[in-house]
C-alpha cells in the first residue's frame, strides 16, 4: 500500500475534521523529513504510518477530554503524543523523551504544526512536577516499570491510557505484585490481541 492509499484507508475509518487533518499532515510531513536522516521510523513501517501508527494513537481520543492535560512517556517518534496534541487543540501535551535527536524532531514537529505541546528532555525519574489529567504511553515499558514511571501522576489522581500488545494480561499480573489499581481493558481497533489499558486508583502495595 502506498502512502496516499494508507492515508485514505485511515480517513475512511476515522472521523477527522478538515482542520485536524491539516495539522496531522504537517506532523507526518515533518516526520518524513526527519526519518530520512534519523531512524525514527523504520522503512518497512513508513508505508503504513497512517493505518498503523496514527490510527493506533487516534483510538485513544475516545478517552481524552478536549481540554485534558496529558503527559506522554517515552514519546519517541511522537506516537501517541503528537497525534493527541493535533486532535486536542484546547488541551496540552507534555512529551517526555531522553534521546536528543528524538527530542529535536518532536520540537520541530510541534513548531511546524503549531501544536499545544512541549518537550521535556531527560529521564522520567527526574521530571518536574507537571500537572496532568492523563498519562499515555505506547511501546515504552512493561506494565510494572510503566507504573513506576507514571506513579508521580497516577498516585495523585491522574489516569493512565496505555497501548499494550498481546502480553498485556501477563504484564498486569506482574504489575499487581507491587501496585494496587483498577483497570479497564478495551480491545484495540487496530487488530490483533492488543488493548488500551485504562488505569486508575493507583497505589503502591505495602505487603
Beta carbons within 8 Å of 116's beta carbon, 6+ residues apart: 85, 88, 89, 90, 91, 92, 93
Cα–Cα distance, 95 to 142 (Å, whole number): 19
- Give the model's pLDDT for residue 129: 85
Sign of CA dihedral 120, 190, 144, 101: negative
Considering its fold, how many domains does the chain have in total? 1
Flag whether pLDDT at 207 surpasses 70: no
Kindly report the CATH number assigned to the domain that includes residue 19: 3.40.50.150
In angstroms and rounded to an integer, the radius of gyration of the C-alpha atoms of the chain is 16
What pLDDT, in 10s, does the model give residues 34-71?
Answer: 998 888 998 899 999 999 999 999 999 999 999 999 99
Q: Classify 184 as helix, strand or coil.
A: strand
Host domain of residue 58? 3-204
pTM for the model: 0.96
Phi/psi at 57 (5° precision): -70, -40
**What pLDDT is attached to residue 1?**
64
What mean pLDDT do residues 28-36 have?
Answer: 95
User: In 10 A of CB 130, how many CB atoms?
Assistant: 14
Amino acid at each position: 500500500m502506498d502512502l496516499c492509499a494508507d492515508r485514505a484507508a485511515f480517513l475512511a475509518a476515522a472521523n477527522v475534521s478538515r482542520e485536524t487533518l491539516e495539522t496531522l499532515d504537517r506532523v507526518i510531513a515533518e516526520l518524513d523529513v526527519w526519518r530520512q536522516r534519523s531512524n525514527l521510523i523504520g522503512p518497512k513501517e513508513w508505508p503504513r504510518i497512517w493505518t498503523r501508527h496514527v490510527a493506533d494513537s487516534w483510538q485513544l481520543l475516545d478517552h481524552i477530554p478536549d481540554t485534558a492535560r496529558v503527559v506522554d512517556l517515552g514519546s519517541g517518534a511522537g506516537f501517541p503524543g503528537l497525534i493527541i496534541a493535533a486532535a486536542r487543540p484546547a488541551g496540552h501535551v507534555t512529551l517526555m523523551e531522553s534521546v536528543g535527536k528524538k527530542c529535536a524532531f518532536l520540537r520541530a514537529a510541534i513548531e511546524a504544526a503549531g501544536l499545544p505541546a512541549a518537550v521535556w528532555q531527560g529521564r522520567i525519574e527526574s521530571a518536574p512536577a507537571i500537572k496532568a489529567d492523563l498519562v499515555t504511553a505506547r511501546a515504552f515499558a512493561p506494565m510494572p516499570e510503566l507504573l513506576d514511571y507514571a506513579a508521580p501522576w497516577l498516585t495523585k489522581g491522574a489516569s493512565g491510557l496505555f497501548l499494550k500488545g498481546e502480553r498485556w494480561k501477563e504484564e498486569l499480573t506482574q504489575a499487581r505484585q507491587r501496585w494496587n489499581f483498577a483497570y479497564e481493558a478495551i480491545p484495540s481497533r487496530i487488530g490483533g490481541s492488543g488493548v488500551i489499558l485504562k488505569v486508575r486508583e493507583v497505589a503502591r502495595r505495602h505487603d
